[in-house]
């Protein structure tokens, strides 16, 4: 390995001076940890922190690194593609990695999703989904249908349209409430099925049908909006109400896709298919930024028969060959193994390990679904103290709001999983 460019302290000083981090001020108030390399489920630090130079990753780098880091199969896929070409424009050109990826995604996602728009990030895939829905109604002669309905507690990304369907209160985008498109919100979906809530959804969709382009939700698990789980039965309620009232249904599976909740896609818990589906995060196994928006022939035909018969969207790096190649390899790797068994094993390990958190003062709720574990406190967490407590246990966690949560790589062994659970308890106690 080459010598590091910067001496101790220097890297962090330059980071503080120049580099913006997610949801942070400039300069940052808490120094990040410098990672020198990563392999398997371990992050190797450039400098020891709280006596640790290696941390077990409990976050999969925000849902994405499902196979862990530095995986030989994924490395080889990138290398092989690199030797052919790392990128060519997608306007007027095409290539095998993108065609393979799109074909593969159509095969593994619910019928009748059949068309794939590849884009750069999750937020952009939600923008594309919204654009598809708005344009569908405009093209089919109903331009008044241009609002969106969602439920509270959601998170769909940080660009403009996605922000408008994030939870409007207590979330990261409250600042912009007066400037965002005004969407229609149902209450947060309850964990278990309640007929009253189902009625609320039906009534809202019926009342606003003339102005509604689409319902946009995260199926089964709401991620960054609060890490809440809900009954899949609500997805069937949405599907039926959308069909009854001519409204499109968009599932944002950017966090839930590729096995995280125990089914390959969370929509499968309910046995329903959306009209438009967003994928991202684990799509490339955490290697490169890429997302996808899938739609049905009905949506695509509607748009393509319109006055402007094209979807006017085309990111510069659309269909990037390196990202497409590693996405194909990651999907093949996932499906070539008993991923569902591994997710079940992790679910059992999290249930057992996190049950100890119920004895920690200040813990309000502990919940587990698939390879996702959540400990919710009755107070906002002290993020620095909680992170430090986890690092002392040898684990990387990134708590937020009143939540300590984990979604470890599927390759996490039982000992490392137990360690992650101990760290969550320590973070809950000390945060």
Ligand X SMILES: *Cc1c(COP(=O)(O)O)cnc(C)c1O
Rounded CA-CA distance 431/371 in Å is 23
Q: How far is the CB of 171 from ligand X (least distance, A)?
A: 12
Q: How far is the CB of 281 from ligand X (least distance, A)?
A: 6
Q: How far is the CB of 250 from ligand X (least distance, A)?
A: 11
- 116 with 102: CB under 8 angstroms? yes
Which H, E and C letters describe 256-294, residue by residue? CCCCCCCCCCHHHHCCCCCCEEEECHHHHCCCCCCEEEE
Name the segment binding ligand X (CB under 6 A); options: 122-130, 206-214, 228-236, 364-372: 122-130
- 245 with 282: CB under 8 angstroms? no
Taking the least distance from each CB to ligand X, the nearer of 292 and 360 is 292
Q: Can you tell me which residue has the tokens 């654009």?
A: 131
Name the segment binding ligand X (CB under 6 A); options: 127-135, 149-157, 264-272, 300-308: 149-157
Name the segment binding ligand X (CB under 6 A); options: 13-21, 72-80, 120-128, 377-385: 120-128
User: What residue number has its CB nearest to ligand X?
Assistant: 122
Taking the least distance from each CB to ligand X, the nearer of 97 and 223 is 223
281, 402, 410, 416: the catalytic one is 281
Nearest to 373 by CA among 350, 348, 402: 350
136, 155, 197, 405: the catalytic one is 155
- Verify binding: residue 61, ligand X, rule CB under 6 A: no
Taking the least distance from each CB to ligand X, the nearer of 120 and 416 is 120
- 258 with 331: CB under 8 angstroms? yes
Nearest to 274 by CA among 238, 324, 245: 238
- Verify binding: residue 255, ligand X, rule CB under 6 A: yes
- Verify binding: residue 122, ligand X, rule CB under 6 A: yes
Instruction: Dump the DSSP string for 45-67.
Output: EEEEETTEEEEEESSHHHHT-TT
- Verify binding: residue 157, ligand X, rule CB under 6 A: yes
Q: State the number of CA atoms in the 13 A half-sphere of 351 facing the CB.
A: 9
- Verify binding: residue 155, ligand X, rule CB under 6 A: yes
Rounded CA-CA distance 355/302 in Å is 50
Rounded CA-CA distance 275/299 in Å is 7
- Verify binding: residue 163, ligand X, rule CB under 6 A: no
Rounded CA-CA distance 303/187 in Å is 31
DSSP 8-state assignment for residue 400: B
Phi and psi angles of residue 225, each rounded to the nearest 5 degrees, phi first: -80, -5
- Verify binding: residue 171, ligand X, rule CB under 6 A: no
Write each residue from 33 to 52 as x if it is in contact with ligand X (CB under 6 A), else as -, in one continuous string. Answer: --------------------
- Verify binding: residue 126, ligand X, rule CB under 6 A: yes
Which tokens hold the place of 352?
């057992």
23, 83, 338, 359: the catalytic one is 23
Q: How far is the CB of 252 from ligand X (least distance, A)?
A: 5
- Verify binding: residue 223, ligand X, rule CB under 6 A: yes
The β-bridge partners of 365 are 376
Exposed/middle/buried for 196, CB within 10 Å: 0-12, 13-18, 19+?
exposed
Nearest to 378 by CA among 367, 368, 390, 363: 363
Out of 149, 254, 270, 357, name the contact with ligand X by CB under 6 A: 254
Q: How far is the CB of 291 from ligand X (least distance, A)?
A: 6
- Verify binding: residue 280, ligand X, rule CB under 6 A: yes
Taking the least distance from each CB to ligand X, the nearer of 158 and 211 is 158
DSSP 8-state assignment for residue 93: -
Taking the least distance from each CB to ligand X, the nearer of 148 and 391 is 148
Taking the least distance from each CB to ligand X, the nearer of 102 and 279 is 279
Taking the least distance from each CB to ligand X, the nearer of 167 and 347 is 167
Site residues, ligand X (CB under 6 A): 121-123, 126, 155-157, 218, 223-224, 252, 254-255, 280-281
Which active-site residues does the annotation give? 23, 155, 252, 281
């Amino acid at each position: 390995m080459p010598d590091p460019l910067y001496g101790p302290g220097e890297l962090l000083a330059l980071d503080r001076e120049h580099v913006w981090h997610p949801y942070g001020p400039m300069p940052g108030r808490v120094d990040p940890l410098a990672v020198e390399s990563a392999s398997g489920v371990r992050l190797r630090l450039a400098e020891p922190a709280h006596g640790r130079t290696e941390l077990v990753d409990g976050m999969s780098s925000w849902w994405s690194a499902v196979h862990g880091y530095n995986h030989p199969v994924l490395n080889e896929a990138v290398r092989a593609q690199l030797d052919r070409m790392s990128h060519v424009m997608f306007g007027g050109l095409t290539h095998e990695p993108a065609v393979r990826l799109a074909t593969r995604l159509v095969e593994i996602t619910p019928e009748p999703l059949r068309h794939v728009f590849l884009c750069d990030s999750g937020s952009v895939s939600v923008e594309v989904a919204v654009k598809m829905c708005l344009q569908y109604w405009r093209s089919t002669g109903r331009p008044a249908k241009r609002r969106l309905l969602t439920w509270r507690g959601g998170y769909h990304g940080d660009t403009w349209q996605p922000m408008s369907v994030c939870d409007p209160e207590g979330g990261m985008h409250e600042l912009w409430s007066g400037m965002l498109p005004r969407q229609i919100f149902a209450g947060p979906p309850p964990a278990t099925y309640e007929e009253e809530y189902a009625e609320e959804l039906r009534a809202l969709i019926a009342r606003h049908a003339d102005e509604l382009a689409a319902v946009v939700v995260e199926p089964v698990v709401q991620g960054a909006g609060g890490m809440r789980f809900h009954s899949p039965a609500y997805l069937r309620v949405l599907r039926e109400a959308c069909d009854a009232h001519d409204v499109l249904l968009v599932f944002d599976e950017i966090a839930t896709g590729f096995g995280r909740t125990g089914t390959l896609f969370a929509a499968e818990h309910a046995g329903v298919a959306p009209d438009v589906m967003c994928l991202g995060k684990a799509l490339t196994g955490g290697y490169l930024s890429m997302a996808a928006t899938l739609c049905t022939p009905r949506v695509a035909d509607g748009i393509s028969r319109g006055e402007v018969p094209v979807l006017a969207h085309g990111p510069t790096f659309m269909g990037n060959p390196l990202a497409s190649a590693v996405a194909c390899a990651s999907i093949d790797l996932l499906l070539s193994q008993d991923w569902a068994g591994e997710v079940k094993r992790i679910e059992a390990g999290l249930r057992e390990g996190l049950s100890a958190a119920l004895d920690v003062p200040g813990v309000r709720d502990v919940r587990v679904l698939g390879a996702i574990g959540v400990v919710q406190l009755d107070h906002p967490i002290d993020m620095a103290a909680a992170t430090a407590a986890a690092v002392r246990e040898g684990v990387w966690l990134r708590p937020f709001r009143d939540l300590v949560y984990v979604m470890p790589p599927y390759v996490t062994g039982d000992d490392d999983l137990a360690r992650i659970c101990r760290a969550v308890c320590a973070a809950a106690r000390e945060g």
